[in-house]
Amino acid sequence: MQIEAIKGVIFDLDGTLVSSELDFSLIKAQIGCPCEQDLLDYIAQLPSAYMREEAMNIVHQHELLDAQHAKMLPGVSEAVNALKAKNIPMAIVTRNFDKAAAIKLQNNPLPIEIVLTRSDAPAKPDPSALNNIATLWNMSPSNLLYVGDFLYDIQAAHNANMRACLYAPDVTPSYASQADYVLHDFTQLVTLIDNYAQKVVLC
């Protein structure tokens, strides 16, 4: 059995690179979305363009407010700069809309130029944004790692035929077993990449 080398890393944004205090229960209550339903899916199925626009405006207001308070998470800057020094290409794929993501990264600068939001491609767990980056880098998805903190991140990675790395600094969720790797400390990421710098052959 062979495990392909990791040649590129794609990150989620909220809860992975920067903090987020979005209250999804409150947002769902304000737009009438059932607790168990995905927020973006609910908005997409609203019966009129006006209703969809009004609901999305509420989401945008919450996202923009959250963006103003986002802080870089511990170990992120060191890990990202270490990967940059190793010439590992990096990108960000987030369910944020473009303006909120831009504010978060302006206030918490990282040496990552490629940022795809739900304004650019369908939201995760749809793999389109991840596939777009693989194409841009001219790399096989099997050589790419997607790092995120939620189930949708794992699903998006696997839908794109990439490996999924779950970042779980506090509580390890029940779906952690679906990830290929689990990080409890961001500094572990560099070690993980080093371990798979070359193709690994398992006997």
How far, in Å, CA of 156 to CA of 125, rounded? 4
The top-level CATH class assigned to 2-19+71-201 is: alpha beta
Looking at residue 202, what is its pLDDT?
60
How far, in Å, CA of 30 to CA of 95, rounded? 19
pTM confidence score: 0.92
How far, in Å, CA of 61 to CA of 26, rounded? 12
User: Which residue would you say has higher pLDDT here, 8 or 196?
Assistant: 8
Listed by start position, the domains of the chain span 2-19+71-201, 24-69
- Give the model confidence (pLDDT) of 114-126 as tens digits: 999 999 999 999 9
Span 144-148, average pLDDT:
98
User: Which residue would you say has higher pLDDT here, 187 or 129?
Assistant: 129
- Omega into 125 within 30° of 0, i.e. cis? yes
